[in-house]
Chain A
Amino acid sequence: MIDVYRALFVGQIQAASQYRVQSVLWMLFSVIRPVIFLAAWVAVANAQGGRVASYDVRDFAAYYVALSLVSNLATSWNAYDFEFEVRMGRLSPKLLRPLHPIHYAVVENIVWKMTTIIPLLIVLGFVAVTFDARFRATPVHLVLFVPSVILGGSLAFLGGWVIATSAFWTTRVHAVSTLWDRAVFIFAGQIAPLALLPGALQTIALVLPFGYMLGVPAEILQGAVDVPTAMLLIAVQAIWVAIFYALLQVVWRVGVRQYTGVGA
């Protein structure tokens, strides 16, 4: 399998190298939204004497810088790609090879992140300095961030695949995946840090899987939660990953029987 991944990486890096500028533009686009929210929260905080609940302006800056990094590392676009592949019949050759189609998506995602991480860090460094971000993370937080962002990315990836697999039944999954993305937008910590969501919404966000994709790794990187809490959140992330992994196995097995090979 290592040889397969190496070959897939080489092919994907070659393909990605042809779209370097596009990749960087997409990356910049993905940073715009968190920066807008950061600016909004800074304005709100300044209007309230420099603080909203436990967050001051510098905390907001640290949170949104961390969230931008996590979003870039953990987000994937499987549902849209998968729908396209099902609709155009491009999934068919992949289904007939002795390799699960999910592996191509894993490599695509990793390569995309590799090609955009350096310009992203430069942009985020600039944002952090401009807004005077204050990170409270200890070295232990930084160590815990690694499994947390991997689990967050795995959760987002597997969740996206479960949604995408509905294309086996419907051929088009755009509406479903848009609904999923909106839920991520509300509950994953993009509008506000999870700690600042009003009572009921915060409870819902902690029960649903979305916050464990982005918000939790971002708060760990920012150092907003203490180490025992961080470890507990990582354990919950692991449980969600296990649930979505099992769900994907079932949905895939049933769904692939529905595949009609349209357009192929």
Chain B
Amino acid sequence: MGEPIIDVRDLRKTFRVTERQEGLAATLRSFVRRQRRDVNAVAGITFRIEAGEVVGFLGPNGAGKTTTLKVLSGLLYPTAGEAHVLGFVPWRRENAYLQQMTLLMGNRTQLVWDIPAADSFRVLQEIYGVPDESFRRTVGELTELLELQDLVHKPVRNLSLGERMKVEFAAGLIQSPRVAFLDEPTIGLDVSMQSRIRRFVAEYNRRTGATILLTSHYMDDVVALCRRVIVIHHGHLLYDGPLADLAERMAPYKIITATLRDGAAATIDLAAYGTVTGRDEGRVTLKVDRQGAPERAARLVNELGENLADISVEDPPIEEVIDRVFSEERVGTAT
């Protein structure tokens, strides 16, 4: 294992926010004396990411994901702790760092609205000092991967949200960054556009070997792209490890779905095999203890015999696992 591309140690970011009660009296009081409160957006997190990894950064709203990305990209100064990305301290914002990094935020624009994206690309080429040949190659690849042919010559303000997001992606990658921070890259996009962006990110990672740290509330993004996830909540790290192990570690149960033949569902009581969590005509969903799942499934097959048309044993949906993590805050780090 070489030097990590992203190395974060006990990173903290505290915001001081002003608060006041509602009402006229409180408003008048706030003119004279303001009540301030410290909010620990990031409360001491530590992790390392190796070259070429695509890591999902998960957490509910307000967990500290975006703040962490802003600190790692160099936008914010941390309150305490250390971070190195590509060997640079991000918040020093050295040009050599900024030229190798990008922060893409869904629903945020960095393009000039009134001119076609192709012209913004040219400006970015000069700002990042990309040689002509590399620029042509990169734009060509991005145009192909993102299907931008018809989009780059229209003023950005005339593009739809999904089209604009694709063009934003291209603008953020003109400099061929070695590290990309993607904050909710598919937010607000329709299913087909989400899927296209996902395929693009995966292909981009494969072609360039770029290291990607991505936040998303859409679990499909995470499942499609990330083998590893980091889960944070209230600024604390709850889990760092393979996505596949998240369910095992965080949800001590499995889901058995048994499909019964016509009429059998009405007469057979499956409560003896586990907790019935769903019933949809012949399909019955059971929640069973993780360790006991194989034995329960075998019993179902043996005892229901011909009444059983189909059976599956699965981890709970990732959304359910995450929801459970956030609601129970079970702390654990994969080793």
- The interface residues of chain B lying within 8 Å CB-to-CB of A6 are 126
Best-surrounded residue of A10, A93, A94, A259 (most CB of chain B within 10 A): A93
The answer to whether the Cβ of B112 comes within 8 Å of any Cβ in the partner chain is: yes
Could you tell me how many residues of chain B have their Cβ less than 8 Å away from some Cβ of chain A? 32
Beta-carbon contact of B98 and A98 below 8 Å:
yes
Beta-carbon contact of A264 and B120 below 8 Å:
no
How distant is A247 from chain B, measured CB to nearest CB, in Å?
A: 21
| B116 nearest CB neighbor, chain A only | A14
Beta-carbon contact of B119 and A259 below 8 Å:
no
How distant is B22 from chain A, measured CB to nearest CB, in Å?
A: 21
- The interface residues of chain B lying within 8 Å CB-to-CB of A235 are none
Beta-carbon contact of B75 and A264 below 8 Å:
yes
A4–B126 Cα distance when bound, in Å, is 5
Could you tell me how many residues of chain A have their Cβ less than 8 Å away from some Cβ of chain B? 26
Among the 9-residue stretches B102-110, B218-226, B232-240, B273-281, the one with 4 or more Cβ atoms under 8 Å from chain A is B102-110
The answer to whether the Cβ of A7 comes within 8 Å of any Cβ in the partner chain is: yes
The answer to whether the Cβ of A178 comes within 8 Å of any Cβ in the partner chain is: no
Interface of B is mostly: mixed
- The interface residues of chain B lying within 8 Å CB-to-CB of A261 are 70, 75-76
The answer to whether the Cβ of B127 comes within 8 Å of any Cβ in the partner chain is: yes
The answer to whether the Cβ of B195 comes within 8 Å of any Cβ in the partner chain is: no
Beta-carbon contact of B77 and A4 below 8 Å:
no
Question: CB within 8 A of A14: which of B76, B98, B102, B119?
Answer: B119
The answer to whether the Cβ of A196 comes within 8 Å of any Cβ in the partner chain is: no
How distant is A56 from chain B, measured CB to nearest CB, in Å?
A: 47
Which residues A86-120 have CB closer than 8 A to chain B? 89-90, 92-99
Tell whether A11 pairs with B122 under 8 Å between CB atoms, given A93-B110, A98-B128, A261-B70: yes
How distant is A5 from chain B, measured CB to nearest CB, in Å?
A: 9
The answer to whether the Cβ of B302 comes within 8 Å of any Cβ in the partner chain is: no
Beta-carbon contact of A7 and B126 below 8 Å:
yes
| B94 nearest CB neighbor, chain A only | A98
- The interface residues of chain B lying within 8 Å CB-to-CB of A93 are 103, 108, 110
A95–B112 Cα distance when bound, in Å, is 15
| A258 nearest CB neighbor, chain B only | B77
The answer to whether the Cβ of A25 comes within 8 Å of any Cβ in the partner chain is: no
How distant is A122 from chain B, measured CB to nearest CB, in Å?
A: 26
Tell whether A11 pairs with B127 under 8 Å between CB atoms, given A93-B110, A257-B77: no
Which residues B261-278 have CB closer than 8 A to chain A? none
Return the CB mask of A54-80 against B: 1 if under 8 Å, else 0.
Answer: 000000000000000000000000000
How distant is B272 from chain A, measured CB to nearest CB, in Å?
A: 55
A7–B93 Cα distance when bound, in Å, is 23
Beta-carbon contact of B115 and A11 below 8 Å:
yes
Beta-carbon contact of A7 and B75 below 8 Å:
no
| B41 nearest CB neighbor, chain A only | A260
Beta-carbon contact of A96 and B103 below 8 Å:
yes
- The interface residues of chain A lying within 8 Å CB-to-CB of B76 are 259-261
The answer to whether the Cβ of B64 comes within 8 Å of any Cβ in the partner chain is: no
Beta-carbon contact of A4 and B119 below 8 Å:
no
A92–B122 Cα distance when bound, in Å, is 20
Tell whether A10 pairs with B122 under 8 Å between CB atoms, given A96-B98, A260-B15, A264-B75: yes
Which residues B85-139 have CB closer than 8 A to chain A? 93, 95, 98-99, 101-103, 105, 108-110, 112, 114-115, 119-120, 122-129
| B111 nearest CB neighbor, chain A only | A93
Question: CB within 8 A of B127: which of A4, A10, A14?
Answer: A4
Beta-carbon contact of B75 and A96 below 8 Å:
yes
A3–B127 Cα distance when bound, in Å, is 8
A93–B125 Cα distance when bound, in Å, is 15
Question: CB within 8 A of A95: which of B93, B95, B120, B127?
Answer: B93
How distant is A19 from chain B, measured CB to nearest CB, in Å?
A: 8
How distant is A263 from chain B, measured CB to nearest CB, in Å?
A: 9
Beta-carbon contact of A7 and B123 below 8 Å:
yes
The answer to whether the Cβ of B73 comes within 8 Å of any Cβ in the partner chain is: yes
The answer to whether the Cβ of A15 comes within 8 Å of any Cβ in the partner chain is: yes
A203–B284 Cα distance when bound, in Å, is 90
The answer to whether the Cβ of A18 comes within 8 Å of any Cβ in the partner chain is: yes
| A16 nearest CB neighbor, chain B only | B114
The answer to whether the Cβ of B59 comes within 8 Å of any Cβ in the partner chain is: no
Beta-carbon contact of A92 and B125 below 8 Å:
no
Given contacts A90-B109, A98-B98, 10 further A-B contacts (CB under 8 A): A7-B127, A8-B123, A11-B122, A93-B110, A95-B74, A96-B75, A259-B76, A261-B75, A264-B70, A264-B105
Q: Could you show 27 A-B contacts with beta carbons less than 8 Å apart?
A: A4-B126, A8-B126, A10-B119, A10-B122, A10-B123, A11-B119, A14-B114, A15-B114, A15-B115, A18-B114, A18-B155, A19-B114, A90-B109, A92-B75, A92-B103, A92-B108, A93-B108, A94-B110, A96-B75, A96-B101, A97-B128, A98-B95, A98-B98, A98-B99, A99-B127, A259-B75, A259-B76
Which residues of B approach A to under 8 Å, CB–CB?
Answer: 15, 70, 73-77, 93, 95, 98-99, 101-103, 105, 108-110, 112, 114-115, 119-120, 122-129, 155
